[in-house]
Amino acid sequence: MSISSIFPAGNSPRFSRIRRLALPVFAVALFLQLDCSSPAPVQTPIKIDYADAAEGRWVDSLFNSMNEAERLGQLFMIRAHSDKGPDHIQTVENLINKHHVGGLCFFQGTPEKQAELTNRYQALSPKVPLIIAMDAEWGLGMRMVATTMSFPRQLMLGAISDNQLIYDMGKEIARQLLRIGVQVNFAPVADVNNNPANPVIGFRSFGEDRDNVAAKSMQYMKGMQENGVLACAKHFPGHGDTDVDSHFDLPVIRHNMARLDSIELYPFRELIKEGIGSVMVAHLHIPALDDRPNRPTTLSRNTITTLLKEKMGFDGLVFTDALEMEGVAKHHKPGVVEAEALLAGNDVLVLPKDIEAALREIKAYLKDGRLQQNQLDASVKKVLRAKYRVGLTRFSPIPSAGIKEDLHTASAEALRRKLIENALTLVRNQDTRLPAPKAGNIAALSIGAKEKPVFTDFLTKGNTTLKTFAVQADPSEADRNQVLKSLKSASLVIVSLHGMTNSIKKDFGLTANARALVAELNKQNKVALVVFGNPYSLKFFDEIGCVLEAYDEDTLTQEVAAQVVLGQLQTKGRLPVTVSALSKYGVGE
């Protein structure tokens, strides 16, 4: 069930009549408290159309009714949680009441509590409803891990050939976001991840190929924006080739403009052509764009105004990345950060450290002429335009009943399964080891699982003669010798790797002893290796003749992987990254 009223930017007579009825009621009357049981209107596409006269009239009328504090407040988006107590809630309410903040970015909590708090916070801002955002790159489960659905991460999705499935996922994620009152998703990640050592993007990217990243980002964006949620391409101008996490320090990218233009900027350029509604700017130091020491792209006018807006033609909403991150905060003081971010060309200041300091510094910049009032006014109007496009000419309270049932539908689960089935990648299959024979001395060995894996359980149901073994993540020499002895006569050993991480510095959670056991088994037996984790880990297993890359370890992925091993499903995925000479981009059987 959709719950946000979207007034489209198109010229349909039917929706023009709706606008004429709704739009004359400006200011306080724009906030209309509706019965929560009222049927929700159909979502319509978000379009960037500055020629839309009705939108322009609404924006101008509302802007003219606002005082300076209300206008400045629109440029701030603050942190909100639904898993914190009364003190946090009071802090959010105080910032809404005192500074008229324009938006909230929700983090951890539950969908029911978030909907309740959204209704509560929106009631404090009747003149201009708050725009609500989330980082939901793989769905609500990115923030609400235990209570909502997670779709595959983008690197896993990068293995899929049928991009219509990515559109379908974007559409479903939009439906779920709107159900709990969220209008902006900080996704897709349009970074081209061509650095295996990247500590912050990695599995959040669609992979190393610019065309694959652009095509899948496009479908994800369209799936959301054609169904009422504003998409946000991040992290401009490209965070893929870094080995530093901008949450903790300022990464440096030393590529020249020719390289940046051909790789990093390419997906953003394609998304801009297709009407992406917003872009988020990363905290990166790129001397080719701005050679001032420790100057992040977030605070670089040459990066945002000259490159993004003027040269690339982007006229949508520009969000900063979180201003509390050390990539920007380490070298610049609160207040100065926000003023410099606006001067650079950002429209929305996301998660500022100190709003009071920010307002003081912004006003000082305005007074001495460093920041022009017309630029600031243009950003305020862009925020209002975005609110118009996502239906925030008024706020309809979010229905509280049935949220869990509305989010967890059979069709959403079926889509999740289909995505996984299309992503699993048979990297190599020497001697046609998979599917596993139905007869013979077949064994399964799990490494690193804390309890009996779903994968193993599913295998034994499909092959009752299969023998199962397990070792811990760091098996001792005695354990390895015992396993080798027990499996010596096996005609095929299906080895599954569990409990992996995404840290290349920690070898993706694979200990030296675990890797040694796989190598020793490979010398003794025919091995089919199933990797429930990051595909960059395949660099350790070039000697293994049969490798199934499963990307993740959730229950459904383990079930699907078992079906592949048993011959009940065929794989369709292709590796989205190059890992080694034998595990290259695009391989898959």
Place of tokens 């080895």: 495
Residue 503 DSSP SS3: coil
Distance of CA 165 to the CA centre of its chain: 16
In angstroms, rounded to a whole number, what is the distance separating the alpha carbons of residues 530 and 522? 13
72-84 core/surface letters (b: 16 or more CB in 10 A; e: else): bbbbbbbbbbbeb
> Cβ distance 559 to 458 under 8 Å?
yes
CA torsion 571-577-578-579 (nearest 10°) is -80
Cite the beta strand spans of 103-148 per DSSP E: 103-106, 131-134
> Cβ distance 475 to 508 under 8 Å?
no
Instruction: Pinpoint the alpha helices (H) of 345-453.
Output: 355-367, 373-389, 403-407, 410-423
In angstroms, rounded to a whole number, what is the distance separating the alpha carbons of residues 169 and 189? 14
Phi, psi of 173 (to 5 degrees): -65, -40
Catalytic one among 49, 243, 245, 247?
A: 247
406 carries an active-site annotation: no
Give Dmax (Cα) for the chain.
83
239 carries an active-site annotation: no
In angstroms, rounded to a whole number, what is the distance separating the alpha carbons of residues 151 and 173? 9
In angstroms, rounded to a whole number, what is the distance separating the alpha carbons of residues 235 and 308? 12
In angstroms, rounded to a whole number, what is the distance separating the alpha carbons of residues 361 and 259? 36
Strand partners, 495: 445, 529
Catalytic one among 52, 209, 290, 321?
A: 321
In angstroms, rounded to a whole number, what is the distance separating the alpha carbons of residues 251 and 197? 13
Instruction: Pinpoint the alpha helices (H) of 41-85.
Output: 53-65, 68-73
First-to-final CA distance of the chain: 40
Strand order in the sheet with 278-281: 317-320, 278-281, 230-236, 184-185, 131-134, 103-106, 76-80, 349-350
In angstroms, rounded to a whole number, what is the distance separating the alpha carbons of residues 491 and 467? 12
Residue 267 belongs to what H/E stretch?
A: helix 266-273
Known catalytic residues?
Answer: 247, 321
